[in-house]
A and B are shown apart, each in its own frame.
Chain A
């Protein structure tokens, strides 16, 4: 395994070849709760499904998929929050990879909140 110093050296060397992504204030954010409760309930599969659907639909420039810690909705994990600029945050719970893909299609692309998955 490389040391942290070696990793930093690789990163420095590669800097010119990569396009660093900076937080875009106009991007819609999908935040998946990745506390231990979320991870134990399937947050990994849900985050991967969101990322895959975002990539598949070619909306990686306008949607950012990220993670946060436990938000206190442990009984409804896996949980994800969708925040679009100028709009109220929507919290979805009891998610599955299939529901995540549906949210991408209906909410992120279609602009319609999926009411049945809201908590």
Chain B
């Protein structure tokens, strides 16, 4: 099962890649009483028929459906999530968690998504807000600040330091 927020985000965001999205925006906001994340993409979207099927499968689990990720998310956040989609404009998933729900390895999730972005074919915009601090990154801008053989490690360091700093008390 998906035991933390970082895995829930990854599981939903991977679907954005599968949907053919070229732009993916993810935001994670932490406040005293909640964690809130929003993932939106410009992929192929989900038809009203399929969306209805997803909601029914969440309410009444059945074998053979392929919406385990969304079911897992619903379970993890106690049903506090919303999926909206359109065949044309893509999909948006929002979820709210209690503040004591494990955050998990957010840096690892960001690195994994950056690895999937390739070099500019998919653009990822990731933002984190925690009280008065924030950290944002854009997959395309990252290629500007990095260079040569050290590229991978410079990006990894940037992500790890940024995430650590934003959640530091």
Contact = CB atoms under 8 A, between A and B. Distances in A.
A1 B27 contact: yes
A4 B23 contact: yes
B123 A20 contact: no
Contact of B123 (A11, A44, A47, A58): A11
Interface residues of A, number: 35
A1 B125 contact: yes
A11 B27 CA distance: 18
Interface string A32-56: 0011110110001101100110011
Given A1-B38, A40-B1, A7 B112 contact: no
A58 B150 CA distance: 10
Interface stretch (A61-69, A81-89, A106-114): A61-69
Contact of B121 (A8, A20, A44): A20
A56 B151 CA distance: 10
Interface of B: 1-3, 7, 10-11, 14, 17-18, 22-23, 25-27, 38, 40-42, 66, 68-69, 72, 89-90, 105, 108-109, 111-112, 115-116, 118-121, 123, 125, 127, 138, 140-141, 143-144, 149, 151-153, 156
Interface of A: 1-4, 7-8, 10-11, 14-15, 17-22, 34-37, 39-40, 44-45, 47-48, 51-52, 55-56, 58, 65-67, 69
